[in-house]
Amino acid sequence: MFKKKKSLWLFLLPGLAGLMVFYVAPFIGGLYFSFTDGTINNSFVGFDNYTRLWKNEVFRLGLQNSLELSLICAPLIFVLSFTLSVMLKHLKEKSLFFRNVLLMPYLVPTSAMLIVWTLLFDYGGIVNRLVVGLGQERVLWLQSGAMRVPIVLLYVWKNTGFSVVIFSAALQSIPDEYYEFARLEGASSVKQASKITLPLILPTAFFVLVLGWVNAFKIFKEVYFIGGAYPDERVYTLQHFMNNKFATLDYQDVTTAAYSFALIVLALFGLMYLNKGVRGDAH
């Protein structure tokens, strides 16, 4: 028994070592930074950095925009990917082809897609021509607050496929007998979905939502590529704030903002995890 455990730890060691070196240690180091004054002596200043940061209007603006974008993107991806995976389940053998097609955008580098997106949504691009054709004024899709539309579209299009794959795997793990029994008992499709499918894939759904939400929170490179370091106020995200602070050597604000964000996410998902269903205890 001891030998088994020993070999288990030996196998885990490289991965654990990497985790410690590249995640845990920097995490602790960054946390320490957020409580110091950033001078060469790194003096402890308590919560001064946090109080100063939360008073900064631009930080709050970035955080608000990041929250809003994530509240739009994550549920959209969740609903779309769940719907698509259910549809794919019904296609059976043919589903593999469509799943791969859905996954393609995820594999394409963002910068390559952004070039196409900027052409589409440019002032004289196809989208505006359609808009003009519909009798409306051209929209500054890439410069004004309307940038949210192409950003959300791009993000959802790129990331839905990955969530479809996860949902598909979860759906396939539900035995068909449950649905057969439910049909025999006279349960409708909606009831099957709500009483069988959803409860059984709740942990996976939670995972997809967490992943989607955390990733959506990190929307930045798309906006930066199009709008630069200082885009329109409505798409100025928390990452912009951190990026600009990094460029001016203000590492205290960067780490403080990062840990503030981490705390918010932890709190949010901690609350959700209290739900037994989410934990998978329900069934």
| Interface ranges with another protein (CB under 8 A) | 38-41, 56-58, 61, 123, 140, 143, 228-230, 232-233, 236, 241, 244-251
Give the tokens for residue 101: 């097609």
CB of residue 122 vs another protein: minimum separation in angstroms?
10
If the CB atoms of residues 60 and 89 are measured against another protein, the closer one turns out to be 60
Residue type, 227: G
Nearer to another protein, 46 or 248 (CB): 248
**Position of tokens 């509240």?**
71
Of the pair 82, 236, the CB lying nearest another protein is at: 236
Q: For residue 223, give the nearest of 238, 245, 208, 213 by alpha carbon.
A: 238
Alpha-carbon gap, residue 259 to 100, rounded angstroms:
37
The CA–CA distances, whole Å, from 250 to 54, 172, 192, 205 equal 15, 49, 54, 38
CB of 283 vs another protein, minimal distance in Å: 49
Smallest distance from another protein to CB 231, Å: 8
The minimum distance between CB 46 and another protein, in angstroms, equals 18
Question: By C-beta, is 207 or 251 nearer to another protein?
Answer: 251
Locus of tokens 């890439």 = 142
Least distance (Å) between residue 146 CB and another protein: 13
Q: Which is nearer to another protein, 102 or 235 (CB)?
A: 235
Q: Is 93 exposed, middle or buried (0-12, 13-18, 19+ CB in 10 A)?
A: exposed
The residue to which tokens 């929307």 are assigned = 219
